[in-house]
Structure 1
Amino acid sequence: MYFLQGLLIGLATFAPIGMQNLFIINTALVQPWSRIMITIAIVGLFDMTLSTAAFFGIGALIEMWPLLKLVILIIGGAIVTYMGYTVIRNEASLEKVNTNIPIKKIITMSIIVTWGNPQAIIDATMMLGAFRANIPSEYIYHFFAGFLAMTPIWFCSLATIIYLLAKNIQISHLIWINRICGTILIIYGIKLCIDGTMLLLTII
């Protein structure tokens, strides 16, 4: 159950059309399959390292300060809800991104987008921290395994679909992806806020 929940949250997190997905889409549209797979491996690796650091780092803090769980549930839930709202409001596009760049530059760009982006670190920490705080300790690794598994599943699936259907991709398809994923994030975000409120009531 928690593995599937992790998969679903991972899907809702990765699927919206952001800069990483846009880069993979444009790579799949114009580059050979070997270059596509290299790009997926690089982007996916740095995404997974950030997720791992955020998940286990916040878990250690929760164990040190139990009241932090309450704060993370409420604030993290609000952030997840807002993320869902922005995903729905953002306009999906297929604007051209330069994909004819050296492998070393792809690695550098991936590092900057993940570890060099404070907002991405904060969002990942608060989001994963909120879910970790709300999952029984014996199941947290099931959830996180599902979340991590979605990284290669999503990026490979996205690249394969774009590669095979490059001539038939329409902007309306991307818009609906954003709407569905945004709705999923909003539902889970509201649930986290409710759980945090219930925990607060038990403390009071």
Structure 2
Amino acid sequence: MNFFLQGLTMGIAYDAPIGLANLFVINAALTQSRKKSLLTALIIIFFDVTLAFACFFGIGAIMKKFEWLQLIILLVGSLIVIFMGINLLRSQTNDISSSQNEMTIFKTISSAFVVIWFNPQAIIDGSMMLGAFQVTLPNYSYPIFIAGVGIASAVWFILLSFIVSKFKDKFNAKVLRIINLICGVIIILYGGKLLFNFFDLLLG
């Protein structure tokens, strides 16, 4: 139970800071039906848990070893993230809901995949956090610990989606537009940071 609780608390610490995944879930909860926003949260959970598994077992070390892999992920990831942010900024107040509700399942899955897996900094940070912790654990505790991390991810994103969805009706169209703009700007800044890291790595 101790290892499970350690995984649970580590998982919350891993997911709680505001990042692209949280913004993605918040935006979906604000602009989609509750059913579809929950589906979006479940898709994010799947990719988040698989990334946590990969970090725990050392994918960050592989990325550090192969610089070309970092470059590809940084470039493609930054451009797609910036494009996502621009789309949010371009959406009009009266079509925030309708445009998002038209997202196909494929687009939701591909966007969630990019948000989680095309952020090298998150992969490396996650590897340092989870991978470093792995060294302190006995081998037999790995499944228990990583199960705690996975459950923390599920609880966090489902709760976040539910709470935002529950209270979104209290926001009028103007407030939704402002939130959308804020999310869009932050996402573009994330993408810009990834692009800067790409050129820094390329020229360094």
User: TM-score normalised by the shorter chain: which range applies?
Assistant: 0.5 to 0.7
Matched, 1:23 2:33: yes
Equivalent pair of 1:80/1:185 in contact (CA under 8 Å): yes
Query: Normalised by the size of structure 1, how large is the TM-score?
Result: 0.60
Name the counterpart of 2:159. 153
C-alpha distance in 2, partners of 1:90/1:57? 35
Relative distance call for 1:17 and 1:126 in structure 2 (3 A) is: closer
2:22 to 11, 14, 35: 11
Find out whether 1:180 has 2:191 as its counterpart.
no
| Amino acid paired to 2:167 | I
After TM superposition, the score normalised by the length of structure 2 is 0.60
Aligned partner (choices 113, 125, 130) of residue 118 of structure 2: 130
CA shift in 2, pair 1:192/1:53, >3 Å: same
Offset, 1:22 = 1.6
Match of 1:49 among 41, 46, 50: 46
Q: Tell me how far apart the structure 2 counterparts of residues 191 and 43 of structure 1 sit (CA, whole Å).
A: 25
- Deviation for aligned residue 1:17: 5.0
Q: 1:56 to 1:200 in 2, by over 3 A?
A: farther
CA contact (8 A) 1:81 1:190 kept: yes
Q: How far off is 1:10 after superposition?
A: 2.5
How far 1:47 sits from its partner (Å)?
Answer: 3.5
Shift of 1:83: 0.8
Number of matched pairs: 163
Match of 1:98 in 2: none
Cα pair distance change 1:86/1:94, threshold 3 Å: closer
Cα RMSD of the aligned pairs, angstroms, is 4.0
Contact 2:82 2:191 in 1 (8 A): yes
- The residue aligned with 2:191 is 189
Structure 2: runs of 5 or more not aligned: 1-12, 99-103, 134-148
Contact 1:15-1:154 at 8 Å conserved across structures? yes
Classify 1:133/1:17 alpha carbon distance in 2 versus 1 (closer, same or farther; 3 Å). Answer: closer
Structure 1: tracts of 5 or more residues without a match? 28-38, 96-111
Identity of aligned residues (%): 20
